[in-house]
Structures are given as C-alpha cells and as structure tokens.
Structure 1
Amino acid sequence: MPAKSAEELWKAYTETTDTNGASYQTRWFGNQNKPAEVQAATDAILAGTKTATTTPLDTYTNEQVAIPQPGDYNVLFNGDMKPVAVIKTVVSELIPFYRISAEHAWHEDEGDRTIGDWRQRKTDEFTPTLEAHGHNLSSDTPMVSEVFEVVYRAD
C-alpha cells in the first residue's frame, strides 16, 4: 500500500535500513505547476534511467536552500505530489557549466541524451532564472552536479 505522507514513507524506509538517525527533505523534479513534467521525471527516476541532475549554484543561494551533499536523503514526490520513493545523493560536485560531462548529461535522461542537446536544453532552462537574479549563463557559471540513487520504493 502506497504511503500517504512523506513521514509515513520515511518511517517505512527507516524500519528496513539503519540510517544512523539521518533526516530527509522532500523533493520533486520539474515544475510543480506542470504535473506531467514532474511525473515524467519521476517515472524516469523509478525506471533507473534518470540518475542525475544539474542546478545552477545561484538557484540554491537565491532560494537559501542547502546544496545536496553525499548521503542526503529525499522523499521523492510524483506529479500528484504524493510520496513514491526515497532517493539518496551519491555525488554532489560544483562544476562550471561547460565542464559538465557527456556521461552526466546521459544520466540526466533528457532529450537525445547527448552533451550538445543537454547544453542547449539547460541554456534554455537556466537562462531566464539566472537573468531574473541578475546573472548571465556563461561557460564558467557554477553548477551543482548531482548523482542520486533510489534506495526505497513505496510500492
């Protein structure tokens, strides 16, 4: 039976694993106002094809949100904002935009999964947000490059 809340899902996970008292945050991928976008990302994560993400450092600093660290846990929400899994950050690195690797782009599972397509998509995605914060996207713009894994499923 699927969990009704993030707390319930986290409790179910911690009963099966020693998390050494770790805590969790809630998380979804994509625009919360576009449930189909969030659901598509969630489906890719649960299928194991999306295991990475990239976010401008500026996003974390402007929203005053902690940068993901290896060992961090997140309860993953689907397009209906229901908890479906627990994911764990495996790698988190600060890397300039044009140093993101082709391998990382592949693991983000977007478009045709090439670095060229990734750069174009991310340029289109990141430029408005950065400009709203008074910044421009450049080859040196710091990015938080994250790799994660699903460690528990609600089903």
Structure 2
Amino acid sequence: MTDKELWAEFCSKKNIDINTPYEAWAFGGATEADTDRLAELVLKGKKFGTASSYDEYVMENALDEIPKPGDYSVILNSKNEAVCVIRDYDVYVRAFGDVPPFHAYAEGEGDRSLKYWRDVHTSFFKDCLNETDKPFTQESRVVCEKFSVEYIPGKDIPEDEMLFVEPTMAFAKEIAAYRQEMLDSESSFDGCFSMKRMPDIQEYVDYCIGWANPRREAGEHGEWGNVLLVIRKSDMKMVGCMQIHNALTERMKKYTGHVGYSVRPSERRKGYAKKMLAKALDFLSSFGFEEVNVSCLPENEASKKTSWQIGNSCYSFKNTL
C-alpha cells in the first residue's frame, strides 16, 4: 500500500479531511533491516518517540519544517510501503546532553536506557553532520518528538489510550486545571512533584525539566527523576500525574520510593491508576532495577491494592508505606 492509499483509507475511516497535510517517511538506519525493525517497534507500541538533528534544519534553511504537535506522518518500511499513521503530541528542542531518560525510553530501542540511546545517536548524529564543518557535541541540539499511533490497517486502536508526556508549556492549561481540581478537593498531590506550591506553571514546567536533566548535579534531597503527565488521548485531558525516581537517597528509599502517582479526582475509579503504575514500572525497567519501591499512605487502601496487583505481576516489588 502506498502512503497516499493508506492516508486516504485513514481519512475515510476517521472522518478527516483528506487534504490535511502529512509527511511520508521511513526511520533512518544503517540498513534496510534497521528501518523495518524501527517501524515494527512502532506497530508493537514500544516505540513512540524519535529524534532528529536541529542543526540539519538550520543548515538546510528549513526551520519551518521542524515537526509540531498535531502533525501527521505516514510511516514507511524499507520498501516504501506504508505501515501506519502517527501524530506528534509533544515536540521540544534540547541539547543532546540534556535529553532525559524518558525520551530514550520512548524511542524503544535496545534496553531503552539513556546510555544505549546516547551511544546509538552519537554515531547517528555524527553521520548527519559529517559532510559539514559543524562538529557534534553534547551541546548540539536535537529535536525530540513523541507521537501516538493513529491508524494501523486492520487493527483497532483503543479509544481510551493514555499518553505519557513530560511537562511542557504546551500542556499549561491542563496542568493548571489539574492543580486547581486537586486543591478544590483537598487531595494530596502525590506524584506531582512541586505542583501544589507552584501556581506559576512556567516555573513548575522548568523545575520538572531541570529535575529530569541527567547532567544536573544531584542534591541530597533531589536526586534524579521524571514527572510524567498522563493525558487521555480522546480529549487531551490530564487525568493523572506520576513522579518517577531513577535514583534515591537513603531517606527516599524508606519513605518516597521509586514511584508516586495521583489521579484527577473527577477521573478516579476508571482503571487509570493500574495503567499508570504499569507504565511507570516498565519505564523503570530501563534502568535495570531488580526491585522497585512504590509509596502510598497507610490509609490509602485503593493505592495499596493497585500497587500490589501491578507490582507482583512484574518483578520483585516493595510497597513502601
């Protein structure tokens, strides 16, 4: 099937204007097998991120072609056959050395670790720039994309799919609404990092980005971690928030654990907590942990039940109270 044929089928089934712009492209790889392997990871749901060289856009005078949230693409295999339609929901530009672990996990390759991602992409980006006089360094900027699969021929995509998003100002309104609902219901801000004490959303977003930066020097209270917004794809509403620590102080090992999370008060009892915790544990597996601690209050029976149900089905697990 060609990209035009797949796009027409997608637009017909999803009631989308066929004249909506899209790009057709294949993942870069050293071999055709690499291209097909990466496309297959997308089809399996393991790969929902990719990265490209910002400097290439600059050199080609094509900054207006940098992907944006909402952009559609048709993914091709090595034979230029269309395999699926994707749509970007999160795009940011960051120095290579500042790219956080969650993006490496989102790219779905190897053991999904930041080390693996850096090793593979250092070579990739050097090749991208080898015909120029611009060297590739830790400060070289890269365009990081997260995307959702919108259509696979012959396969149903769940309507209640959840997107896991690093905090950016693109979701400022949802963060503010989530924060206000948590305040109105007097809910504890578990898994929200410093959201409660930061009414300035820009300050909160910047704080979360800084906390996840792998080049940041860890403090005795902070260590490293990632805040993930949980967005319901059907209406792009923020339904939950997770705080995932990939390094712990001794105090955090006892009281905080690797994972904290909360569900928006109006969205509770819909099964979101189980999906969130399952994603958190899968992400943490990219760090090679053999044991994961999840914290919750002693009186929170629902959270304890969710933790044990998900944790015991994954690997060695401790519910930290």
**TM-score (normalizing by structure 2):** 0.44
Percent of counterpart pairs with the same letter? 28
Selected match of 2:42 from 42, 45, 65: 45
Mean CA deviation greater in 91-100 or 58-67: 58-67
Alignment of 1:98-109 (within 5 A): 98-109=97-108
Q: Deviations over 1:61-120 (max 9, x none)?
A: 334551111111111111221011111111111111111110110111122211122112
CA distance in 1, matches of 2:82, 2:31: 17
1:87 is aligned to 2:86: yes
Residue 24 of structure 2 is matched in structure 1 by 26
CA distance in 2, matches of 1:50, 1:64: 29
Q: Is the 8 A contact 2:92 2:145 kept in 1?
A: yes
Structure 2: which 5+ runs fail to align? Answer: 155-321
CA distance in 1, matches of 2:46, 2:148: 10
Mean CA deviation greater in 114-123 or 144-153: 114-123
Q: Is the 8 A contact 2:23 2:73 kept in 1?
A: yes
Q: 1:104 to 1:64 in 2, by over 3 A?
A: same
CA distance in 2, matches of 1:68, 1:135: 22
Q: Is the 8 A contact 1:84 1:154 kept in 2?
A: yes
Backbone CA RMSD of aligned residues: 1.7
Q: Is the 8 A contact 2:53 2:128 kept in 1?
A: no
Count of residue correspondences: 151
Q: Is the 8 A contact 1:42 1:79 kept in 2?
A: no
Residue 138 of structure 1 is matched in structure 2 by 137
1:124 CA drift (Å): 1.5
Aligned residue type for 2:3: A
Aligned residue type for 1:49: K
Matched residue SS, 1:117: helix
Q: Is the 8 A contact 1:83 1:154 kept in 2?
A: no
Q: 1:131 to 1:30 in 2, by over 3 A?
A: closer
1:36 is aligned to 2:71: no
Aligned residue type for 1:7: K
1:124 is aligned to 2:123: yes
Matched residue SS, 2:75: strand
Q: Deviations over 1:44-77 (max 9, x none)?
A: 0000101001111022333455111111111111
**TM-score (normalizing by structure 1):** 0.88
Structure 1: which 5+ runs fail to align? Answer: none
Q: Is the 8 A contact 2:23 2:72 kept in 1?
A: yes
